[in-house]
Structure 1
Amino acid sequence: MTNAHDMNHARPARPTVDRRTAAAWLAAGLLAGCAGGPPVVPATPPRPSRMSDEQAQDATVLALGLVGTAYRYGGNTPEGGFDCSGLIMYVYRAAGLATPRTVREMSLWGQPVHPSFVRTGDLAIFGSRGDASHAGILVGQGRFVHAPSTGGTVSLARLAEGYWSSRLIGYRRPL
């Protein structure tokens, strides 16, 4: 039978780390964790927007009406097909607002909106490592309309779907 004294000697010694080394590792870990995530948006109501509630509703109805339209890279009309930014540009133009042409520009356009303040007609921006590569128009109930890919059509998707939820960068609204 072993006694408590023998058991203490049988355990391996805990490694020691000086405080400066621990602080450096902690800081590096925090910075690395922040670098890949979406930007932090304050949980405050967005500023008033040029897009009225009526325009946002019109954009939503039009976007839903375009579901099934062919995808075409660089496309920006129902007859010629849409890519994701062309779809947004077309819908917003019909609602009386001009948008940038590319997703990258759209990801910086307008104002960021905290998730608790999103409304129909706002943009959902997707990408990886903070680089925007796709966008859609929010239509309510956690859904968005977008032009997903070559060979596809404008479709309705859920923000909570694994693919989209893991790539959501944030939300934008016109100023």
Structure 2
Amino acid sequence: MIFEFRSRTLVKTAAIVLGLGMGIATVCAEKITEKLSYTENGKTYYRPASLKTEQLKDFDKLSAARQKLITLALSTTTKHGWLKYKFGGSNPESHGFDCSGAMYYVLRKGGFKIPRTSAQQYLWLRDASEIHTIPANADALEHSSFSKLQPGDLLFWSGTYTPTDGRSVNISHVSLYLGQEKDGRHVMVGATKGRSYRGKAGDGYGVYDFKLPRKGSRSKFVGYGTPVGLGK
């Protein structure tokens, strides 16, 4: 396994005057290195992207509750540094999230009583009649089954990996839908390793393109739903 880090170096200078009334100064340089990507087994992973709410189409037309949730989800992408994908992670203090751990952290911070795993989160919405199931023939986000999808809704997949916890529904991945950028690109926020945003594969919690799985993929998009208590 080979790791190759790419970084951005920030240089800060500060003048320090030495001696009383001597006017003698020296300049110190502090180098701060921030790692932005790494290469593992020949594939490059980048720190996931972030967005500002003003970059989202019609954000100002959303309900106050949806605006608040999306703002919280986006602020978490930058507040704690690079939070890489970490199976079992559900708190920034563990330096990473898994997909459901990210949703658990963000929605709990927002006051929602969301359960911990992606399967439990799916059942949480299903039991409240909030799930919209996507049929197998839906091959584009323009399909009529997506007509009720709103920014702030949770997105669910199956087949992204094989769970071993005996869950009752085959749900294995979850993210939060952000809506569209001004150029029409559908985007989501969540924790993953390998999904991409504008052609760059990310590792960790951040913004990603929302796309349906390719035909023949083991991964299937199952459906979406509004977090219980969020409202319209």
* TM-score grouping bracket, smaller chain normalisation: 0.5 to 0.7
Match of 2:187 among 119, 143, 148: 143
User: Per the alignment, do residues 145 and 163 of structure 1 end up closer, same or farther by CA in structure 2, a change over 3 Å counting?
Assistant: farther
Query: Paired residue for 1:103?
Result: 118
Q: Tell me if 1:134 matches 2:173.
A: yes
Query: Paired residue for 1:34?
Result: none
Match of 1:56 among 50, 66, 87: 66
CA–CA distance in structure 2, aligned partners of residues 161 and 115 of structure 1: 12
Q: Identity of paired residues, percent?
A: 32
CA–CA distance in structure 2, aligned partners of residues 148 and 53 of structure 1: 28
Computing the radius of gyration over CA atoms, which structure comes out larger, 1 or 2? 1
Superposition CA RMSD, Å:
2.9
CA–CA distance in structure 2, aligned partners of residues 152 and 158 of structure 1: 13
Amino acid at match of 1:147: A
Amino acid at match of 2:177: L
**Structure 1: runs of 5+ lacking an equivalent:** 1-51
Match of 2:211 among 160, 163, 167: 160
CA–CA distance in structure 2, aligned partners of residues 145 and 163 of structure 1: 20
Query: Paired residue for 1:125?
Result: 156
Match of 2:86 among 63, 68, 72: 72
CA–CA distance in structure 2, aligned partners of residues 163 and 153 of structure 1: 22
- Assess if the C-alpha contact under 8 Å between 1:109 and 1:172 holds in 2: no
CA-CA distance at 1:170 after TM superposition: 0.3
CA–CA distance in structure 1, aligned partners of residues 171 and 110 of structure 2: 24
- Assess if the C-alpha contact under 8 Å between 2:158 and 2:220 holds in 1: yes
User: Per the alignment, do residues 93 and 55 of structure 1 end up closer, same or farther by CA in structure 2, a change over 3 Å counting?
Assistant: farther
- Assess if the C-alpha contact under 8 Å between 2:154 and 2:227 holds in 1: no
- Assess if the C-alpha contact under 8 Å between 2:131 and 2:225 holds in 1: yes
CA–CA distance in structure 2, aligned partners of residues 163 and 91 of structure 1: 29
Report which of the two has the higher share of helix.
Answer: 1
CA-CA distance at 1:148 after TM superposition: 0.7
Amino acid at match of 1:128: G
CA–CA distance in structure 1, aligned partners of residues 170 and 152 of structure 2: 22
**Structure 2: runs of 5+ lacking an equivalent:** 1-61, 133-144, 161-168, 181-185, 195-201
After superposition, give the CA deviation of every residue in 1:84-119 in whole Å (9 maximum; x if it has no partner). 111101111122111011111112222113521121
CA-CA distance at 1:171 after TM superposition: 0.1
> What is the total number of aligned residue pairs between the two structures?
124
Report which of the two has the higher share of strand.
Answer: 2
CA–CA distance in structure 2, aligned partners of residues 102 and 163 of structure 1: 25
Query: Paired residue for 1:171?
Result: 224
CA-CA distance at 1:126 after TM superposition: 0.8
- Assess if the C-alpha contact under 8 Å between 1:127 and 1:169 holds in 2: yes
After superposition, give the CA deviation of every residue in 1:121-148 in whole Å (9 maximum; x if it has no partner). 1100011397210000111112111111
Where has structure 1 moved over 3 Å in runs of 4 or more?
A: 161-166
CA-CA distance at 1:53 after TM superposition: 3.1
